């Protein structure tokens, strides 16, 4: 394993572990939001990132070398050098733009991912919406918020989380939700 970083061919290459000589995932400010999101999906799927739970990035005992990343931490890592830099807190946690547990708004906006504050309050988190159907399965009753960090921390793999992000943002899930909201808002009038 070696660490690669720096600007190569005008694109920032992220400082992160590279396993088995895999090609680095690249992001740049001049990419479209869809291209950035596809780069994130690739990074979540390609095996270059070890998964961690409970924090954006976990460090090894040397408090310098990354041990693993949550799904939102992968996004932060891809934008390191563009939007901000990783810092280490006094107790050894990793922090990106002042956050240790959830990706900051700047990273969310960079990839076009929605943030939502849980109804219980607290910090805004990356969320997708999934339909909940009636018993027969032919009617959508409502859409529930699914928080990506919760999926990560409950053990869903990074590639499986990438599949959920892709289905929602690139294959019509978000449009379905927005159409349902609009239709049901009109019925309430």
Mean pLDDT by 10 residues, the chain (189 residues): 36 39 72 95 94 92 87 95 91 89 94 83 83 92 92 96 96 92 77
Q: Is residue 72 a contact partner of residue 56, using CB atoms and an 8 Å limit? A: yes
**Count of structural domains, the chain:** 1
Q: What CA–CA distances, in Å, run from 125 to 106, 111, 128, 176? A: 12, 14, 10, 21
Instruction: Say which residue the tokens 């970083």 belong to.
Output: 5
**C-alpha span between 57 and 92 (Å, rounded):** 11
Q: Is residue 121 a contact partner of residue 114, using CB atoms and an 8 Å limit? A: no
Say what the pLDDT of residue 189 is: 53
Say what the pLDDT of residue 19 is: 38
Nearest alpha carbon to residue 149 among 189, 180, 107: 107
pTM above 0.75, yes or no: yes
Say what the pLDDT of residue 162 is: 97
**C-alpha span between 123 and 47 (Å, rounded):** 29
Say what the pLDDT of residue 76 is: 96
**C-alpha span between 166 and 129 (Å, rounded):** 12
Instruction: Say which residue the tokens 């830099």 belong to.
Output: 85
**C-alpha span between 168 and 83 (Å, rounded):** 25
Q: Is residue 113 a contact partner of residue 105, using CB atoms and an 8 Å limit? A: no
Say what the pLDDT of residue 173 is: 92
Say what the pLDDT of residue 60 is: 86
Say what the pLDDT of residue 65 is: 84
Say what the pLDDT of residue 120 is: 65
List residues bridging with 127 in a β-sheet: 147
Say what the pLDDT of residue 121 is: 62
Enclosing domain of residue 93: 2-188
**C-alpha span between 61 and 13 (Å, rounded):** 25
């Amino acid at each position: 394993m070696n660490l690669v970083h720096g600007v190569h061919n005008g694109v920032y290459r992220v400082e992160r572990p590279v396993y088995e000589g895999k090609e680095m995932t690249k992001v740049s400010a001049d990419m479209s939001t869809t291209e950035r999101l596809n780069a994130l999906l690739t990074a979540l799927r390609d095996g270059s990132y070890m998964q961690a739970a409970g924090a954006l990035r976990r460090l090894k005992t040397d408090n310098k070398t990354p041990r693993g990343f949550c799904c939102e931490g992968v996004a932060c890592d891809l934008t390191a050098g563009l939007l901000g830099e990783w810092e280490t807190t006094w107790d050894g946690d990793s922090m990106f733009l002042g956050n240790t547990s959830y990706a900051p708004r700047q990273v969310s906006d960079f990839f076009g991912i929605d943030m939502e504050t849980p109804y219980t309050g607290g910090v805004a988190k990356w969320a997708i919406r999934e339909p909940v159907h009636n018993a027969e399965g032919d009617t959508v009753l409502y859409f529930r918020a699914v928080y990506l960090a919760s999926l990560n921390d409950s053990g869903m793999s990074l590639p499986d989380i990438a599949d959920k992000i892709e289905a929602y943002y690139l294959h019509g899930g978000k449009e379905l939700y927005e159409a349902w909201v609009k239709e049901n808002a009109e019925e309430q009038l």
